[in-house]
Chain A
């Protein structure tokens, strides 16, 4: 039913997968996510939709092999095989109104989900300046896609092996220092990166949207496991988000909540043969 039609390793531990899910592909809007279950007894994993094709009925996800489920998805499943469940698209789509110049930032894995957002923001008439950042040159992916979806593209690497040396936040600061127009910032990537961007733009008073990826089960507003403080309210990432005002997110609370199952995840990885093999291969 949910057949894998394409699979590509983009960089170490980063996998691009195309899945047949016609309803999801048709309904998808930028900023939305889906839930994947590898098998009947697997957990439900939320992954941002990186691309969709309503004509072929396919959706694309890009994920990092980081926990038991994502490692098993990347290591055990091949093209032609079926996933037990794919549910989506979930979450409130990203607002794409025309505001002028939007700086869209993707850090690491966050490069994938900003692709449809860049396309969408441009379609509504915005000028899109995109900053994408990787740790090293050999971890780069989709820079060509992002170049085609942006008016201007800046690439950073932590070690300077490609493009500008430094973090995406350094590139953002440079743009601001140069007095470049910046009506809105959208940042997707590791939580520390999103927080760094939000703290940077706060004194500039530039509206900043971040996309949170907290722990959730159903993804439809039922469990409340994904809840996080936004301003003086508690919000559910799955239905009220995943996009939020980066200046209002209670980052410390969110960081703590992301760690709730750390111990259980370590045990799950230790008990999975695929995970053990994966980490052994990484060491070599």
Chain B
């Protein structure tokens, strides 16, 4: 299926030639759907580079001998090498190279906060400010190209001979998928349990289609299955089968159950109709596809929406609301623009699409109508005080500043914590705050022998790339453990 790439025509480096990097050039913008169009559909907003664009952007890379981007990347992708492949027209080679370090390049190329990681570290920032190499876009381009242009058969992947060891992985989100893929390549028998009816975890229920197409996620899942991983959906370990039963059957267990329990503020009126947790709103729309007209799961069409919070999730919610036809979609955030944890591109896209930001403002109660539906939120103005433990300035309420914002929908998007199901069904498993599993950060071993954990289950809600890294590092540790004749156990200090 591979096609010949005329690298000269694309402006890249020909075979045997030396690269002359054009680092002075401006960073190449990515084509996007127009605001008008994208508000009428759920299709991906950023359209991706064409081969010519990818090569042009790759030609800007200096391919530094001591690349800072690689250090800044949580999984240390060999960025100059893969970009070198792109600039020479070896697109599939670029993708294969990324895959040595990251099992989910098509996903991470889309949702990683590159501007705070690899791209922030790019040396070109020093001489050509705000014009780092668009590493994320090139990662996405390479992975997408590979999906479309190579067989990418899992049976061609170098796999170690079967070891006979059996590992159970709980949760098929980024940590679980990444860990399963690596364990399978190492020759272990892997059984992957997923509670929902589709694999992918937060990639399916949390991140909307217009940021991460579900077909892309399913391609990554299929690839992991093709490596020999046995996927079992509709299986909640701790309910569908006792945790102990799984422990008895397998040599090791990797808990990657994520952070799926929604935080609420505990203010009056939170149980009114029309007040959603972000998880409910997102799951209805993303996993259950409530945005389509012909599916079983409903969503109430919002008219005036207040989204509480300003993380990734809040921006996803506000942008979904606009696509559902909301006339007014407002982010209410207790800090200022500078402290917003959301990804820069998402914030820009949300603003373009008409989201309103009401900053330094916090809800204090929700007001309902006679039928129990929310009709307004009472908010309070805030000002920034001294920095808190997160290093950000702490918001402090302003006296007598309360006022009312009318709305028919509120989505509380102030974070998630891990589900307590596994800890509460596994005696001896040490946690922080009752749900975040404690592990030795070197070995990913918990306080219960055989039980490893990683991803959001050990950190609380974080990013896809950190979960992917945890899955990979845990796989290495699990591999060492199952092969160790003494089965040495190195739990966290409690």
User: CB-nearest residue of chain A relative to B257?
Assistant: A220
CB-CB contacts below 8 Å: B272-301 with A = 272-274, 276-277, 279-280, 283-284, 288-289, 292, 294-300
Q: Are the C-beta atoms of A86 and B296 separated by less than 8 Å?
A: no
A221 at the interface (CB under 8 A from B): yes
- Chain B residues closer than 8 Å to A38, beta-carbon distance: 296
Q: Are the C-beta atoms of B421 and A220 separated by less than 8 Å?
A: yes
Q: Which of A3-11, A155-163, A172-180, A253-261 contacts B (4 or more CB under 8 A)?
A: A253-261
Q: Are the C-beta atoms of B273 and A259 separated by less than 8 Å?
A: yes
**0 or 1 for each of A255-284: is its CB under 8 Å from B? (1 = yes):** 011011101110010000000000000000
Q: Are the C-beta atoms of A85 and B233 separated by less than 8 Å?
A: yes
B206 CB to closest chain A CB (Å) equals 10
| Complex: A37 Cα to B239 Cα, angstroms | 18
Q: Are the C-beta atoms of A217 and B239 separated by less than 8 Å?
A: no
With contacts A218-B196, A223-B262, A257-B273 taken as known, whether A264 is within 8 angstroms of B242 at the C-beta atoms is: no
With contacts A90-B239, A222-B419, A224-B277 taken as known, whether A217 is within 8 angstroms of B288 at the C-beta atoms is: yes
Interface hub of A40, A224, A259 (most chain B Cβ within 10 A): A224
B271 at the interface (CB under 8 A from A): yes
Q: Are the C-beta atoms of A88 and B240 separated by less than 8 Å?
A: yes
Q: Are the C-beta atoms of A225 and B280 separated by less than 8 Å?
A: yes
A201 at the interface (CB under 8 A from B): no
- Chain B residues closer than 8 Å to A268, beta-carbon distance: 296, 298
B197 CB to closest chain A CB (Å) equals 4
Q: Are the C-beta atoms of B297 and A43 separated by less than 8 Å?
A: yes
User: CB-nearest residue of chain B relative to A37?
Assistant: B197
| Complex: A224 Cα to B276 Cα, angstroms | 8
Q: Are the C-beta atoms of A27 and B240 separated by less than 8 Å?
A: yes
User: CB-nearest residue of chain B relative to A272?
Assistant: B296
Q: Are the C-beta atoms of A42 and B239 separated by less than 8 Å?
A: no
| Complex: A265 Cα to B297 Cα, angstroms | 9
Q: Are the C-beta atoms of B271 and A234 separated by less than 8 Å?
A: yes
With contacts A87-B195, A265-B298 taken as known, whether A220 is within 8 angstroms of B372 at the C-beta atoms is: no
A235 CB to closest chain B CB (Å) equals 10
CB-CB contacts below 8 Å: B398-414 with A = none
B235 at the interface (CB under 8 A from A): yes
Q: Are the C-beta atoms of A223 and B279 separated by less than 8 Å?
A: yes
**0 or 1 for each of B444-488: is its CB under 8 Å from A? (1 = yes):** 000000000000000000000000000000000000000000000
User: CB-nearest residue of chain B relative to A23?
Assistant: B240
**0 or 1 for each of B177-199: is its CB under 8 Å from A? (1 = yes):** 00000000000000000011100
Q: Are the C-beta atoms of B195 and A224 separated by less than 8 Å?
A: no
| Complex: A223 Cα to B279 Cα, angstroms | 5
Q: Are the C-beta atoms of B296 and A89 separated by less than 8 Å?
A: no
- Chain A residues closer than 8 Å to B295, beta-carbon distance: 41-43
User: CB-nearest residue of chain B relative to A256?
Assistant: B372
| Complex: A220 Cα to B420 Cα, angstroms | 10
B31 CB to closest chain A CB (Å) equals 31
**0 or 1 for each of A53-96: is its CB under 8 Å from B? (1 = yes):** 00000000000000011000000000000001111111000000
- Chain B residues closer than 8 Å to A193, beta-carbon distance: none
B241 at the interface (CB under 8 A from A): yes
| Complex: A163 Cα to B206 Cα, angstroms | 52
Q: Which of A42, A220, A227 contacts B419 (CB 8 A)?
A: A220
- Chain A residues closer than 8 Å to B242, beta-carbon distance: 27
Q: Are the C-beta atoms of A264 and B298 separated by less than 8 Å?
A: yes
Q: Which of A26, A222, A261 contacts B260 (CB 8 A)?
A: A222
| Complex: A268 Cα to B299 Cα, angstroms | 12
Q: Which of A85, A87, A234, A261 contacts B270 (CB 8 A)?
A: A234
Q: Are the C-beta atoms of B421 and A239 separated by less than 8 Å?
A: yes
- Chain B residues closer than 8 Å to A225, beta-carbon distance: 276-277, 280
- Chain B residues closer than 8 Å to A23, beta-carbon distance: 235, 240-241
| Complex: A247 Cα to B419 Cα, angstroms | 28
Q: Are the C-beta atoms of B273 and A260 separated by less than 8 Å?
A: yes
B155 CB to closest chain A CB (Å) equals 26
A24 at the interface (CB under 8 A from B): yes
**0 or 1 for each of A14-51: is its CB under 8 Å from B? (1 = yes):** 00000000011011000000000110111110000000
A190 at the interface (CB under 8 A from B): no
| Complex: A189 Cα to B242 Cα, angstroms | 29
| Complex: A217 Cα to B276 Cα, angstroms | 12
- Chain A residues closer than 8 Å to B419, beta-carbon distance: 220-222
| Complex: A43 Cα to B273 Cα, angstroms | 19
- Chain B residues closer than 8 Å to A229, beta-carbon distance: 271
Q: Which of A87, A224, A234 contacts B197 (CB 8 A)?
A: A87
Q: Are the C-beta atoms of A221 and B296 separated by less than 8 Å?
A: no
Q: Are the C-beta atoms of B279 and A87 separated by less than 8 Å?
A: no
Q: Which of A26, A68, A217, A265 contacts B280 (CB 8 A)?
A: A217
User: CB-nearest residue of chain B relative to A90?
Assistant: B239
Q: Are the C-beta atoms of B294 and A41 separated by less than 8 Å?
A: yes
**0 or 1 for each of B223-236: is its CB under 8 Å from A? (1 = yes):** 00000000001111
| Complex: A40 Cα to B299 Cα, angstroms | 17
With contacts A69-B296, A229-B271, A265-B298 taken as known, whether A87 is within 8 angstroms of B277 at the C-beta atoms is: no
With contacts A24-B240, A88-B239 taken as known, whether A41 is within 8 angstroms of B296 at the C-beta atoms is: yes
- Chain A residues closer than 8 Å to B241, beta-carbon distance: 23, 26-27
- Chain A residues closer than 8 Å to B270, beta-carbon distance: 234
| Complex: A34 Cα to B334 Cα, angstroms | 39
Interface hub of B195, B234, B284 (most chain A Cβ within 10 A): B234
| Complex: A228 Cα to B196 Cα, angstroms | 23
User: CB-nearest residue of chain A relative to B296?
Assistant: A43
Q: Are the C-beta atoms of A260 and B300 separated by less than 8 Å?
A: yes
- Chain A residues closer than 8 Å to B236, beta-carbon distance: 87, 90, 220
- Chain B residues closer than 8 Å to A86, beta-carbon distance: 234
- Chain A residues closer than 8 Å to B4, beta-carbon distance: none
Q: Which of B262, B273, B296, B371 contacts A224 (CB 8 A)?
A: B262
B254 CB to closest chain A CB (Å) equals 19
- Chain A residues closer than 8 Å to B300, beta-carbon distance: 260-261, 263-264
With contacts A85-B197, A217-B284, A234-B270 taken as known, whether A223 is within 8 angstroms of B277 at the C-beta atoms is: yes
| Complex: A220 Cα to B425 Cα, angstroms | 14
11 pairs, CB–CB < 8 Å, chain A vs chain B: A86-B234, A220-B239, A221-B261, A221-B421, A222-B260, A224-B262, A224-B280, A228-B271, A229-B271, A234-B266, A257-B271
With A222-B260, A250-B271, A257-B273 known, 12 other A-B pairs at CB within 8 A are: A42-B295, A42-B296, A43-B297, A44-B288, A87-B234, A217-B288, A220-B260, A221-B420, A222-B283, A222-B419, A225-B277, A252-B372
3 closest Cβ contacts across the A-B interface?
Answer: A256-B372, A264-B298, A43-B296
A: which residues have CB within 8 A of B?
23-24, 26-27, 37-38, 40-44, 68-69, 84-90, 217-218, 220-225, 227-229, 234, 239, 250, 252-253, 256-257, 259-261, 263-265, 268
